[in-house]
């Protein structure tokens, strides 16, 4: 009996049951600690060529290789490695402090990979503590939140956001008190807050920090604030604004500021860009791809993405999908030229 490719793959790959697709595949958002833990512990496996539809077959929209290249895995850029190290140092420094912990600010322009760095830090600590102390349902080492949207009276429901993540939606009584209790019991080490740019006005930011300061002081967690312009939003709230400054002094808080940027065109930055390209190159699963193929188009990718991680990721992912669909199975200049990203197309 002749088996179809799909049947062969099913027989060979018994690692995990296929998800029952009742709707188009979509990314999942970690809305509470259980979903976040699952996301942090899961590792997305790259599809193997030997398990994929053979070269030359027309692929459907649910083809695993096509879906995989829709958003390649996070590559461990030098920025991520450095940020992980610096955050680790700060966490260790804060470890024995009940008061006076210093937080971290993650700032940088749009599309330069801030949220990706933030998530990589979270995943690192979630896994590290689970490896060190063994898995434990009651431990919540990392809380990851977005600045909640304003509700009536332009207040933001921070307590609700923390409680939802901790899975306490239906608990009655003082939400903040139970958030603090849970975070202490769950040994939370790290609170990651993304979307700081949503705190547009000084009053909005001040209100937010009135709440966040309480949580920070009452728990053992180190806070990381991430967003465009986060330094100028967070810094005024973490420093002494009362003492008169010496004329030579600069007004500055004591939180560490980590800054992402696009990879520019100086000699050093071009080398850094080439390294990142190599990391993406190693992720590609295309039939005619040879290791380091992307180096041949590195200059083109640099000019077109202008060194922004978001554009770079989009260019490579879209080109890979075109290469799979067209059967070219390799990322070349011609394939990249077919990507319309960032272009004006006259109709
Ligand atoms: N290390 C990485 N590996 C793979 N892809 C990455 C990496 N960093 C960034 N990207 C890609 O770039 C996209 C944009 O990155 P990210 O969302 O982290 O930027 P951002 O600085 O948070 O942008 P914004 O200011 O708009 O929030 C990501 O969705 C991802 O596709
Ligand atoms: Mg972001």
Question: Rounded mean pLDDT of 264-284?
Answer: 96
Q: What is the mean pLDDT of the chain?
A: 91
pLDDT at residue 246, rounded to an integer: 80
Q: How far is the CA of 307 from the centre of ligand 1 (A)?
A: 12
* Residue 243, pLDDT above cutoff 90: no
DSSP state of 56: T
CB 151 within 8 A of CB 204: no
Short-list 107, 5, 105, CA closest to 54: 5
Terminal-to-terminal C-alpha distance of the chain: 51
CA distances in angstroms from 186 to 29, 125, 136, 141, listed in the order given: 22, 14, 10, 7
Q: What is the pTM of this model?
A: 0.91
Give me the residues near ligand 2 (ion), CB cutoff below 5 Å.
114-115
Q: Is the CA virtual torsion 295, 297, 299, 302 positive or negative?
A: negative
Looking at per-residue pLDDT, the higher value among 98 and 327 belongs to 327
pLDDT at residue 18, rounded to an integer: 55
- Alpha carbons 171 and 151: distance in angstroms, whole number: 20
Q: pLDDT-based confidence at 72, cuts 50/70/90?
A: very high
Helix (H) or strand (E) holding 185, with range, is: helix 175-185
Looking at per-residue pLDDT, the higher value among 35 and 245 belongs to 35
Question: Rounded mean pLDDT of 255-263?
Answer: 96
Looking at per-residue pLDDT, the higher value among 25 and 232 belongs to 232
Q: How far is the CA of 226 from the centre of ligand 1 (A)?
A: 13
Length, in residues, of the chain: 347
Q: How far is the CA of 207 from the centre of ligand 2 (A)?
A: 22
Does the C-beta of 182 come closer than 6 Å to ligand 1?
A: no
- Alpha carbons 275 and 8: distance in angstroms, whole number: 37
Q: pLDDT-based confidence at 142, cuts 50/70/90?
A: very high
pLDDT tens per residue, range 143-178? 999 999 998 777 899 999 999 999 987 656 788 999
pLDDT at residue 27, rounded to an integer: 79
Of the chain, the percentage scoring pLDDT greater than 70 comes to 93
23-37, 46-60, 128-142, 211-225: range with lowest mean pLDDT: 23-37
Q: How far is the CA of 209 from the centre of ligand 2 (A)?
A: 20
Does the C-beta of 115 come closer than 6 Å to ligand 1?
A: yes
Question: Rounded mean pLDDT of 172-193?
Answer: 92
CATH superfamily label, 78-259: P-loop containing nucleotide triphosphate hydrolases (3.40.50.300)
Residue boundaries of the structural domains of the chain:
45-73+265-337, 78-259
Question: Rounded mean pLDDT of 260-273?
Answer: 96
- Alpha carbons 289 and 274: distance in angstroms, whole number: 17
pLDDT at residue 9, rounded to an integer: 62
pLDDT at residue 21, rounded to an integer: 65
pLDDT at residue 99, rounded to an integer: 86
């Amino acid at each position: 009996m002749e088996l179809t490719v799909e049947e062969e793959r099913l027989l060979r790959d018994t690692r995990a049951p296929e998800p029952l697709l009742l709707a188009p595949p979509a990314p999942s958002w970690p809305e509470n600690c259980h979903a976040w833990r699952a996301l942090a512990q899961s590792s997305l496996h790259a599809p193997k060529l030997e398990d994929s539809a053979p070269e030359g077959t027309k692929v459907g929209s649910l083809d695993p290789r096509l879906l995989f290249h829709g958003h390649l895995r996070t590559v461990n850029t030098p920025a991520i490695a450095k940020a992980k190290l610096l955050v680790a140092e700060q966490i260790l420094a804060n470890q024995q402090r009940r008061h006076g912990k210093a937080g971290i600010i993650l700032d940088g322009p749009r599309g330069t990979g801030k949220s990706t760095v933030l998530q990589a830090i979270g995943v690192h600590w979630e896994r590290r503590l689970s490896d060190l102390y063994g898995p434990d349902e009651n431990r919540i080492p990392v809380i990851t939140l977005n600045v909640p949207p304003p509700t009536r009276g332009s207040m933001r429901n921070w307590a609700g956001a923390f409680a939802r993540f901790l899975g306490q939606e239906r608990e009655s009584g003082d939400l903040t008190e139970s958030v603090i209790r849970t975070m202490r019991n769950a040994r939370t080490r790290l609170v990651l807050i993304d979307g700081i740019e949503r705190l547009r006005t000084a009053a909005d930011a001040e209100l937010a920090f009135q709440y966040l300061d309480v949580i920070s002081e009452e728990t053992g967690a180190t806070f990381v604030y991430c967003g465009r312009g986060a330094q100028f939003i967070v810094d005024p709230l973490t420093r002494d604004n009362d003492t008169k400054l010496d004329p030579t002094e600069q007004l500055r808080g004591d939180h560490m500021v980590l800054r992402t940027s696009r990879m520019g065109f100086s000699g050093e930055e071009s080398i850094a860009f080439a390294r990142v390209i190599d990391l993406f190159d190693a992720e590609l699963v295309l039939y005619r791809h040879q290791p380091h193929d992307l180096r041949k188009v590195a200059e083109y990718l640099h000019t077109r993405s202008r060194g922004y991680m978001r554009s770079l990721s989009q260019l490579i992912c879209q080109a890979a999908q075109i290469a799979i669909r067209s059967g070219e199975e390799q990322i070349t200049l011609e394939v990249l030229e077919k990507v319309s990203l960032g272009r004006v197309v006259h109709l």
